[in-house]
Amino acid sequence: MIDLSEALELIEAHALTLAPRRIQLCDAFGLTLASPVIADVDSPSWDRAMMDGFAVCNDDFIRSELASPEAVSLEVIADVAAGDPSSITIRSGTCARIMTGAPLPTGADSVVPIECARGTSRSAHTGSTVTLADKHFHSGQHVAIRGTFFGSGKEVMSIGMQLGAAEIGLATEAGATHVTIHPRARVSICSTGSELVEPSEIPAFGQTRNSNGPMISAAVQTCFAEPIPLGIAIDHPEAIRATVAQGLAADVLILSGGVSAGDYDLVPNILSLCGVTNVFHKVRLKPGKPVWFGVLNRDNGPRTLVFGLPGNPGSSLVCFELFVRPALAKLHGHSSERWHMPRVQARLTGAVKLGGDRPVFSPCRLSRSINNSELWTASPMPWGGSSDLIGFCGANGFLVVPVGVGMLPAGSEITVAVRDQPMRL
């Protein structure tokens, strides 16, 4: 049995970042750039009106001889909507009615918002006169000058950036229909156990629904990897061997169940018969002690990482967060500070009596009041142990209870490992 820190170092050493590939931007959500995105246009590509109003010459407002500076009357010589390639020129004494997003006509420098039009002149269009009063006028107002945000040829996103919604929007604006990323890891998921039945079945006496399969699939998706569900393999060597053989075609194979010390815990032997080299088996940890990790190395091809997670659902979940998530983060090209669950210090709202001869990871809810710049607070979830999932539902962290702690009273400070879930404060 090894310590958690040693287990994590071994995983880091064996997980190799997947070779970059060029794919369509629309398929790249959540992935990390392996090449920068270079803009093929200026943004904006022309001087752009940022308000609905009138495109005017600065001089008419700054050194106005046409009227008092508070109220300027101008002849409207064009209406310019977004998308209109207008060829008109605005000269002193004239203006164009303009809509947000439209190109500013030649000669105009600023936009006076529609709200500044006096009385009925608010509805002035081509051929009529508008009277504008803008107390706050300044040159160049409400215009985004060509290239303000980025110029053609500029790197708008650098290597290592993860493509979220904003990044996909910016890449699109910059002309990247394709991006070079570290590809989505393909993750086979197999649940072992003769007692398991499909989720749609009503379990007979002694049977259990395969809840780990869908749970691990969901966890894989939160890492932006691709789950490949392989279903259930009964505790029979040939059944497990056949599934393992299939699962080894992926970048990662996750098995659940069959890694403890029972008579039917066949997984470690079968993995070694299939050529998978064991890296560690059993980690000083609760829940999750029986966890198994190995690698299938190929002479002329990519390696497959293999995780044997304990079958109890709570253990499977904790082991996924502690061991599989960092491996996927490294495969996906994240920088090392993003591999592991972040740790924060928090104050317990209730007592914890969980310590023993192994560090315990038990579910909690982390929160912090907006005005409290101090510590987070951590509320332990009622939890029945490794086979209980109720305590993990709604939990956004794991209390990290150190070895030898008999009882931590409410108000004690404790380390919490933060789960990569949307944090509800």
Q: Which residues contact 114 (CB under 8 A, 6 or more apart)?
A: 51, 52, 53, 54, 122
Q: Is the peptide bond before 290 cis (omega within 30 degrees of 0)?
A: no
Of the residues 42, 59, 84, 195, which one makes contact with ligand AMP according to CB under 6 A: 195
- CA gap 395, 393 in Å, rounded: 5
Map the footprint of ligand AMP across residues 332-351, applying CB under 6 A: none
131: which 2 tokens?
A: 């009277």
Minimum distance, C-beta of residue 337 to ligand AMP, in the bound complex (Å)? 33
Closer to ligand AMP at the Cβ: 127 or 237? Answer: 237
The span from the CA of 300 to the CA of 283, in Å, is: 32
Residue from 191, 304, 377, 396 in contact with ligand AMP (CB under 6 A):
191
Residue 98 phi, psi (nearest 5):
-135, 145
C-alpha–C-alpha distance, residues 307 and 336, integer Å: 20
DSSP SS3 for 103: strand
Q: Is 331 left (phi over 0), alpha (psi -120 to 50) or beta?
A: alpha
Residues 308-327 that bind ligand AMP (CB under 6 A): 310-313
**What one-letter code names the amino acid at 238?**
E
Q: Which ranges in 1-124 belong to alpha helices (H)?
A: 4-14, 59-62
Q: Which is nearer to ligand AMP, 181 or 291 (CB)?
A: 291
Stretch that binds ligand AMP, among 96-104, 209-217, 297-305, 354-362 (CB under 6 A): 209-217
| Closest approach of Mg ion to the CB of residue 227, in Å | 21
Return the residue matching tokens 């940890």. Answer: 285
Rounded Cα distance, 391 and 405, in Å: 21
Q: Does 247 bind ligand AMP (CB under 6 A)?
A: no
String of contacts with ligand AMP for each residue 149-188, x by CB under 6 A: ----------------------------------------
Using Cβ positions, the residue closest to ligand AMP within the complex turns out to be: 311
Cis peptide before 36 (omega within 30 of 0): no
Nearest to Mg ion of 44, 257 (CB atom): 257
Based on the shown chain and the rule CB under 5 A, indicate whether residue 268 belongs to the binding site for Mg ion: no
Residue 193, interface with Mg ion (CB under 5 A)? yes
Q: Does 210 bind ligand AMP (CB under 6 A)?
A: yes
State how far the Cα of 295 lies from the Cα of 304, in Å rounded to an integer: 6
Among 257, 314, 363, 380, binds Mg ion (CB under 5 A): 257
**Token pair 């305590």 is at which residue?**
391
Hey, which residues between 206 and 245 contact Mg ion (CB under 5 A)? Answer: none
Q: Say which entry of ligand AMP, Mg ion, none residue 195 contacts (CB below 5 to 8 A, set by partner kind).
A: ligand AMP
Query: Considering CB distances under 5 to 8 angstroms, the limit depending on partner class, which of Mg ion, ligand AMP, none binds residue 210?
Result: ligand AMP
What residues make contact with Mg ion under the rule CB under 5 A?
A: 193, 257-258, 311
Q: What residue ranges bind ligand AMP (CB under 6 A)? A: 191, 193, 195-196, 208, 210-213, 256-258, 260, 262, 310-313
